Structure 1
Amino acid sequence: MTSAAPSLPVPNVARGVFLMLSAVTVFTVMSAFIKAAVRVPAGEAMFFRSVMAMPILLVWLVTHGGIRAGIRTKSVRNHAVRGIVGSCAMGLGFAGLKFLPLPEVTAIRFVTPIVMVVLAALILGEKFRFVRIAAVLLGFVGVVIIVAPRLSVGIGSTEALGVGLTLGSACLAALAQVFVKGMAGQESTTAIVFWFSMTSAVLSLVTVPFGWVWPTGVELTLLVGAGVVGGLGQILLTSSYRFAEAGVLAPFTYVSMLWSVLIGWIWFNEVPTMSMTVGAGFVIGAGVIIVLRERALGRDETARRKVRAKGLQ
């Protein structure tokens, strides 16, 4: 996922929420497509996801200021680092889908904003306040509840492998978002989206020697579909931030839990377990606490800036 746009030229919370809900829905469908193409390696799936999204992203750039202006960058290095970390997160996430039910993968991924709080404190020097600490601990308790049944069958099991891959994906995604946060104000959202897709497409080719397969007609349809809806999801997600603040939209990302449960049940015959449901509640609760706290801190900082501005008049 990408950072919010630097400004909100046309505030419209209802439209922003609608676009966010649409993005969340599309991304859940994308994960289902990748999961359904079970025979296709994660690196190959990442290639199709990245390449098939490019035409949609290019059309979007053309209609939103032009390609040259949209992909202009001030730091190739920053995009490269963010792209490598984000690509690894995507690849591990796709691999984890092969071993765990879709709802559990979705629930574990919700640890990303929690890990991001820790990494932002370590890398960006953000203050690690009591509320944040409590939310982080609550979130990790939820993760333990979710993964405990999978780990109890043995560290070497496929379930444990799926847990490791998905947790690794969530942590790397958090690191990628910290890098994006550090790039805020220096790089446009369109450039971040474009160069990430380019980087992930190139890096996916490194996995060719590790066993790509020739996809069947059904698998090819799923892979192309994943790329198309993934590109559409990026556009919907990025567009949502033009109409509402990130703090307002963040809670609506948890709707993906409902979609993953529904899709997992209908498509993959996956029934959520009690531990997954309880653990997901803890993780989602921790995420909501963090979001609400960040919004409160943002309002306080805005108020302080207004007071300082008046004092200078």
Structure 2
Amino acid sequence: MPRSDNLTGALLMMGSMAAFTFNDAMIKSLSGQISLFQVMFLRGVLTTAMVAVIAWRTGALRRRLPRVDRWPVFWRMVGEVGSAYFFVTALFHMPIANISAIMQALPLTITLAAALFLGEPVGWKRMSAIVAGFVGVMLIVRPGTEGFTVYSVYGLAAVAMVTLRDLATRRLSRDVPSMQVTLITSACIMVFFGLATVPQGWAPVDGRAALLIGGAAVMIIGGYLFSIMVMRVGEISFVAPFRYTSLIWALILGWVVFGDWPQMITLVGAGIVVASGVFTLYREARISRRARAARQKELSLGPRPR
């Protein structure tokens, strides 16, 4: 029996989330052996080289970046570099499931930011889901308690930086090749972390570290390619909720690889965040379907007589 587009899209989304989470686990495994800046620089070198080959093969390097897209690309780069720094710093010092649970708030923060800065409408139902999701985030980070550290703030800062990145991405014109933007961003991350390694010096890289860094680079590219393929098959409203499978992978890897298991209150908070995000995605899909139906109806009626 042939596989449906929705099932294919769901499998690709789960593959993308698995790849990104395995990358996180590989990077976290290097904590204490190699500095954060050196790890990110070395991964950046490999990632940039692989992205450059893909961009060249797809013809993305032959097109110039339009002038109107330069500022969005700049702010996207700022968001990407900032999110990489804050996320990996938190990842080095927090259980992988905890930081992954915090990052699940992204659909909520992006929806809220789009309403505040881009003027996109958000009804009371989605706003209620956003408020509930932020309550879930507070249960995860628990400010004022013994488990709250500066790295919890770093996790929240990573969410803010990714939100900035995604808002800037929405401002890009359709003429900009995705691989061209990815190459620019990857190269900037490589340069930023490369410069940051200068004052710290260079730690030796043994075979295990080299394999982990190489594996992380492959996982990053795989996750990105899967995420692009997701956009070409299936319905977004069906496929998007499968992004939350990254939390399942984070729980499994955190337990098996690092021996960490979140406290019950963290799991409750994560459940609230995921439920709020799924509801937000569902409402956005319904609104999009209504808008498309209204446009099709208007086109079918034709122009009104004067």
TM over 0.5: yes
Cα separation, 1, equivalents of 2:262 and 2:204: 30
| Structure 2 residue corresponding to 1:249, chosen from 239, 261, 266 | 239
Cα separation, 2, equivalents of 1:107 and 1:181: 24
| Structure 2 residue corresponding to 1:152, chosen from 138, 145, 162 | 145
Map 1:53-132 onto structure 2 (within 5 A): 53-63=47-57, 65-69=58-62, 72-74=64-66, 75-132=69-126
Cα separation, 1, equivalents of 2:243 and 2:116: 25
Question: What's the CA shift string for 1:170-193, capped at 9, x where partnerless?
Answer: 111012111111215242322232
Cα separation, 2, equivalents of 1:131 and 1:192: 34
**Which structure 2 residue ranges, 5 or more long, are not aligned?**
none
Cα separation, 2, equivalents of 1:132 and 1:210: 46
Runs of 4+ in 1 over 6 A off after TM superposition: none
Cα distance change, pair 204–111 in 1 and its aligned pair in 2 (3 A): same
Question: What's the CA shift string for 1:137-170, capped at 9, x where partnerless?
Answer: 111110111111x74127xxxx512101111001
Map 1:108-257 onto structure 2 (within 5 A): 108-148=102-142, 151-153=144-146, 160-183=149-172, 185-217=174-206, 218-257=208-247
How far apart are residue 133 of structure 1 and its match?
Answer: 0.9
Cα separation, 2, equivalents of 1:227 and 1:292: 33
Q: Which moved more, 1:12-21 or 1:121-130?
A: 12-21
Cα distance change, pair 122–171 in 1 and its aligned pair in 2 (3 A): same
Cα separation, 2, equivalents of 1:50 and 1:230: 10
Tell me if structure 1 keeps the 8 A contact 2:72–2:171: no
Cα separation, 2, equivalents of 1:151 and 1:221: 39
Cα distance change, pair 21–171 in 1 and its aligned pair in 2 (3 A): same
| Structure 2 residue corresponding to 1:44, chosen from 31, 35, 38 | 38
Tell me if structure 2 keeps the 8 A contact 1:37–1:219: yes
Cα separation, 2, equivalents of 1:107 and 1:170: 11
**Partner SS for 2:112:** helix
| Structure 2 residue corresponding to 1:275, chosen from 265, 268, 271 | 265
How far apart are residue 274 of structure 1 and its match?
Answer: 0.1
Tell me if structure 1 keeps the 8 A contact 2:48–2:190: no
Aligned to 1:7: none
Aligned to 1:285: 275
Cα separation, 2, equivalents of 1:129 and 1:212: 52
| Structure 2 residue corresponding to 1:20, chosen from 13, 22, 27 | 13
Tell me if structure 2 keeps the 8 A contact 1:48–1:226: no
Aligned to 1:265: 255
The letter for the 2-side match of 1:143 is V
Cα separation, 2, equivalents of 1:258 and 1:184: 35
RMSD: 2.0
Q: Which moved more, 1:116-125 or 1:238-247?
A: 238-247
Tell me if structure 1 keeps the 8 A contact 2:60–2:179: no
Tell me if structure 2 keeps the 8 A contact 1:57–1:235: no
How far apart are residue 26 of structure 1 and its match?
Answer: 0.7
Tell me if structure 2 keeps the 8 A contact 1:49–1:228: no
Tell me if structure 2 keeps the 8 A contact 1:30–1:230: yes
Bigger Rg, structure 1 or 2: 2
Cα separation, 1, equivalents of 2:175 and 2:55: 18
Cα separation, 1, equivalents of 2:179 and 2:287: 27
Aligned residue-pair number? 296
How far apart are residue 73 of structure 1 and its match?
Answer: 2.3
Cα separation, 2, equivalents of 1:187 and 1:67: 9
Identity %: 24
Tell me if structure 2 keeps the 8 A contact 1:19–1:240: yes
**Partner SS for 2:257:** helix
Cα separation, 1, equivalents of 2:249 and 2:174: 33
Aligned to 2:27: 34
**Which structure 1 residue ranges, 5 or more long, are not aligned?**
1-10
Question: What's the CA shift string for 1:4-34, capped at 9, x where partnerless?
Answer: xxxxxxx922222221111111100000011
* TM-score normalised by the chain length of structure 1: 0.88
How far apart are residue 236 of structure 1 and its match?
Answer: 1.3
